[in-house]
């Protein structure tokens, strides 16, 4: 992992820890309070499934756009590999890695990034 990636993971762990600590510290107060009348339980029922769904979609999106140069690389792929629909990260943006990804994912007859089929120029009808 690069140094900036370690910082992002560390910041995410601190935020997650702060959220868990706040839930443990204030959860009992808000769920049994006479002022909220158990409203936080209703909010939990409403927010819980949507939060789980959004985390699932974010995880799937991150996983499906990851670098395809090596199996354990979890960086986001940003550089398209010509002749395929796969992308590699800036760390694996080398000729050797592009050739490896091309060999693994290229399928004959399928278009890659930036490629488009051409049916030829349209001909104009007879002039009147």
Give the tens place of pLDDT for each residue, 56-69.
898 888 888 888 88
Answering whether pTM is above 0.95, one says: no
pLDDT, residue 124, reads: 55
- Domain for residue 58, yes or no? no
Structural domain including 91 reads 65-115
- Kindly report, residue by residue over 34-53, the tens digit of the pLDDT: 665 555 566 666 677 788 88
pLDDT band of residue 122 (cuts 50, 70, 90) is low
| CA atoms within 13 Å, Cβ hemisphere of 96 | 3
Question: How many structural domains is the chain composed of?
Answer: 1
Q: Which residues pair with 79 in a beta bridge?
A: 88
Predicted pLDDT at 82: 83
d(CA 13, CA 26): 20
Domain-located, residue 9: no
21: confidence class by pLDDT, cuts 50, 70, 90: confident
Would you say residue 96 lies in a domain? Answer: yes
How would you class 105 by CB atoms within 10 Å of its CB: exposed for 0-12, middle for 13-18, buried for 19 or more?
Answer: middle
Average pLDDT, the chain: 76
Indicate whether 36 belongs to any domain: no
Q: In this structure, is residue 94 part of a structural domain?
A: yes
Domain for residue 53, yes or no?
Answer: no
Residue 104 lies in a domain: yes
In a domain, 87, yes or no: yes
């Amino acid at each position: 992992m690069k140094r900036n990636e370690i910082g992002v993971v560390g910041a995410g762990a601190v935020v997650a820890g702060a959220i868990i600590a706040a839930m443990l510290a204030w959860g009992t107060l808000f769920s049994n309070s006479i002022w909220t009348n158990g409203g936080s339980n209703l909010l939990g029922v409403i927010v819980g499934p949507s939060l789980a769904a959004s985390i699932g979609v974010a995880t799937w999106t991150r996983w499906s756009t990851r670098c395809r140069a090596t199996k354990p690389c979890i960086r986001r792929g940003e550089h398209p590999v010509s002749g395929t629909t796969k992308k590699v990260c800036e760390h694996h943006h080398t000729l050797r890695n592009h050739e490896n990804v091309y060999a693994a994912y290229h399928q004959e007859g399928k278009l890659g990034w930036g490629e488009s089929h051409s049916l030829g120029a349209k001909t104009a009808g007879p002039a009147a």
